[in-house]
């Protein structure tokens, strides 16, 4: 039993260090190698990439599973989910946004355009997901973080890669195989009088399953690079979206404590490095489209409401990283400085309230148009700081500019508060 315990401890350490996980960075290359791109090709040699059709995966366009298969079972459940999503309150129904994302998805997926259906979900955070039946959901938070259409295309291509390679089906079968094997393994261990190893076997199996998921993510990254390049987008934009993601992650308090073992995605640093390297091998003089202005035209009219969603999530440190990136891009700075002030007002720690007033003042002078609530927010902060006269001036200015505002009655009530 002592020997078994020592073995168990060694197994635990190896698993937690990733030693029992089948991670393999070559998965990034698989889409490019399988579909005609020579990853090791040196572009300086003058060789050209080989043209290739959209024969991307094991399934063909308009694919439907065999009704008797396990795949059909997955599709059946996801089709029920899709019916609910169609009428969900969280679904973002802005026609221009939905049409725009559908057009980018069609450009990226080519012959599979009709098989991939986009559902835009109003939610904070950078995320998108792909169901095995072709249903792709995209959070509106992604629209804030993609700095151009090429980066958006990389994410859509990544999700399409999951569909084209049937990763959900592969992973389900892997889980079934691992858990069935685990039942047999636990039975043998128990018969041998080593019960402690049963828990460690579970740990090892979970590590294998999660590594399988990480390798799927790597392969999907490769497909994203391939698909965006085929569509004429600059593949060197693919890695850049992970830079902002990594900076947001590092700003959160629990970044250092996150579980490496149970994480189902590769580290952002790895993805950035590999995608940056691979992009050079697929870029040509025909893959230069970035599309910053196209994305900007779609996002600009709705950006304030999307930023408000991020603010309401109360992840203040990550939110400030996002705002700083948007400020660096330089679009409508008045709006962005206003939200810098709003973050400080809502967090209200240390000297946040004083800094909120400074950002409101900066918003009033910056290029662009701040949201109509600027004077009201300044008044609220001034009230908290006990500056009643200044608050009343701000509220009066707010009501003058917005006499029919939904909160006008509340603001008028605050105006009746005695001055000091």
Sheet containing 117-121: which strands, arranged edge to edge?
Answer: 117-121, 135-139, 128-130
Query: Which residue in 50, 19, 23 sits closest to 37, CA to CA?
Result: 50
What 8-state DSSP symbol labels residue 370?
Answer: -
Query: Which residue in 339, 289, 285, 268 sits closest to 126, CA to CA?
Result: 268
Plot region of 388 (φ>0 → left; ψ -120 to 50 → alpha; else → beta): alpha
Q: Are 288 and 259 in contact (CB under 8 A)?
A: no
Collapse the DSSP code of 241 into the 3-class scheme (helix H, G, I; strand E, B; otherwise coil) and give the result: helix
Collapse the DSSP code of 192 into the 3-class scheme (helix H, G, I; strand E, B; otherwise coil) and give the result: coil
Query: In b/e form, how buried is each residue of 15-28, taking b as 16+ CB within 10 angstroms?
Result: bbeeebbebeeebb
Domain 332-415, what fold? Answer: 1.25.40
Plot region of 194 (φ>0 → left; ψ -120 to 50 → alpha; else → beta): beta
Q: What is the pLDDT of residue 69?
A: 87
Q: What is the pLDDT of residue 231?
A: 95
Counting every residue, how long is the chain? 420
Residue 411 token pair: 């603001």
Q: What is the pLDDT of residue 180?
A: 64
Q: Any idea where the domains of the chain sit in the sequence?
A: 2-282, 332-415
Plot region of 263 (φ>0 → left; ψ -120 to 50 → alpha; else → beta): beta
Q: What is the pLDDT of residue 27?
A: 87
* Per-residue pLDDT tens digits of the chain, which is 420 residues long: 444 444 333 333 333 333 444 578 888 988 888 766 544 433 333 434 333 333 455 678 999 999 988 888 888 888 998 999 999 999 999 999 999 999 999 999 999 999 999 999 999 998 898 888 999 999 999 999 999 999 999 999 999 999 998 888 787 777 667 666 555 545 544 555 544 444 444 444 444 445 548 888 999 999 999 999 999 999 999 999 989 888 998 898 766 555 443 356 788 889 999 999 999 988 999 999 999 999 999 999 999 999 999 999 999 999 999 999 999 999 999 999 999 999 999 999 999 999 999 999 999 999 999 999 999 999 999 999 999 999 999 999 999 999 999 999 998 988 887 665
Query: In b/e form, how buried is each residue of 132-146, taking b as 16+ CB within 10 angstroms?
Result: bbbbbbbbbbbbbbb
CA dihedral 169, 174, 175, 176 (to 10 degrees): 90
The CA distance from 227 to 107, in Å, is 9
Q: What is the pLDDT of residue 178?
A: 65
């Amino acid at each position: 039993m002592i020997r078994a315990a020592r073995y168990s401890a060694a197994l635990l350490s190896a698993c937690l260090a990733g030693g029992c996980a089948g991670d393999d960075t070559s998965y990034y290359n698989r889409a490019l190698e399988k579909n005609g791109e020579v990853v090791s090709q040196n572009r300086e040699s003058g060789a050209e990439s080989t043209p290739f059709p959209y024969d991307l995966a094991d399934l063909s366009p308009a694919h439907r599973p065999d009704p008797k298969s396990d795949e059909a079972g997955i599709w059946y459940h996801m089709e029920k989910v899709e019916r609910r999503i169609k009428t969900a309150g969280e679904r973002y129904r802005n026609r221009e946004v939905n049409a725009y994302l559908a057009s980018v998805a069609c450009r990226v997926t080519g012959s599979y355009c009709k098989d991939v259906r986009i559902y835009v979900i109003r939610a904070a955070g950078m995320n998108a997901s792909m169901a095995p039946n072709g249903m792709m959901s995209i959070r509106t938070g992604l629209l804030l973080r993609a700095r151009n259409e090429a980066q958006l295309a990389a994410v859509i291509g990544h999700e399409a890669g999951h569909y084209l390679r049937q990763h959900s089906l592969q992973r389900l079968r892997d889980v079934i195989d691992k858990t069935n094997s685990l039942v047999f393994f636990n039975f043998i261990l128990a018969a041998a009088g080593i019960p402690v190893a049963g828990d460690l076997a579970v740990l090892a199996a979970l590590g294998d399953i999660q590594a399988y998921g990480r390798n799927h993510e790597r392969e999907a990254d490769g497909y994203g690079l391939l698909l965006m390049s085929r569509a004429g987008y600059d593949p060197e934009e693919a890695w850049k979206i992970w830079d902002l993601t990594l900076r947001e992650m590092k700003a959160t308090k629990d970044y250092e404590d996150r579980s490496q073992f149970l994480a189902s995605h590769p580290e952002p640093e790895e993805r950035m490095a590999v995608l940056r390297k691979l992009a050079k091998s697929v870029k040509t003089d025909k893959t230069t489209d970035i599309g910053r202005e196209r994305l900007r035209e779609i996002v600009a009219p709705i950006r304030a409401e999307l930023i408000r969603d991020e603010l309401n999530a109360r992840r203040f440190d990550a939110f400030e990283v996002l705002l700083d990136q948007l400020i660096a891009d330089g679009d409508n700075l008045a709006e962005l400085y206003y939200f810098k002030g709003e973050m400080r007002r809502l967090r209200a720690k240390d000297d946040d309230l004083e800094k909120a007033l400074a950002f409101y003042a900066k918003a009033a002078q910056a290029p662009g148009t701040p949201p109509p609530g600027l004077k009201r927010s300044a008044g609220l902060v001034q009230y908290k700081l006990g500056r009643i006269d200044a608050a009343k001036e701000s509220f009066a200015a707010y009501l003058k500019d917005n006499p029919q505002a939904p909160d006008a009655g509340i603001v008028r009530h605050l105006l009746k508060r005695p001055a000091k």
